[in-house]
Structure 1
C-alpha cells in the first residue's frame, strides 16, 4: 500500500527566456524552483534521484553520497518536494522520491530556449 504524503504543486510553463519577457506571476512561480535548486546539496540530490536506477530513490539510497545526517538529507528532500521538483511516496518506514519530469522539462525549456 502506498500513501501520498503531501499534494504536489503544478509547475507553471512559460515561453523560453530568449523569446519573450516573463510576466511577474510567471517569475514568481519559477523562483521557488530555482531557489530549491540553488543549494549544492539539493542540486546533487535532484541529480541523484533523477539518475537513480528505476527513476526513484529512498533516503537510505542517498545518505552515503553526503557527509550529512539523515535528518538533514530529509530536510533538503522536503524542500525539493515542496517546490514541486520531487514526488514522494511512503512505503512502510521508508519514503521514496521520484523526479517530476514535467517540472524539469519546464525548467529546461525556460532556460534552454526549447519551445513547447
Structure 2
C-alpha cells in the first residue's frame, strides 16, 4: 500500500518546512539550500516544482540527482530509523524531514549538508 504522502503536493508541505525553520531563527534560503543539496534541483527547478504543485512522488522522481552523500543521513524521524526505511520514496521524504529537523535544532549547515 502506498503512503498518502506520495500524492500530497510538495507545495503544501514546503511552507511547513519554512515555518519550522523560521520559528527557530533559520531562513527559507537555508531550507531551499537543503532541498537543492538533497535533490539536485537549482532554485528555478525547485520553484517550478512548487508552481506545478507536484506531488512528492513526482518531486523526487523528477529530481535531477539525489546527493551521493544522502546515505550518510541517519537517525530517527517520527520514531522511525531513516536508514531502515525500505521504500525509496519514503526514505527520500524521511531524509528531507531529518535535514529540516537538524536545521530547526540549530545544527550548522555544513554539518547538515554532510560536507
What TM-score results when the alignment is normalised by the length of structure 1? 0.28
- Bigger share in strand: 1
- Bigger share in helix: 2
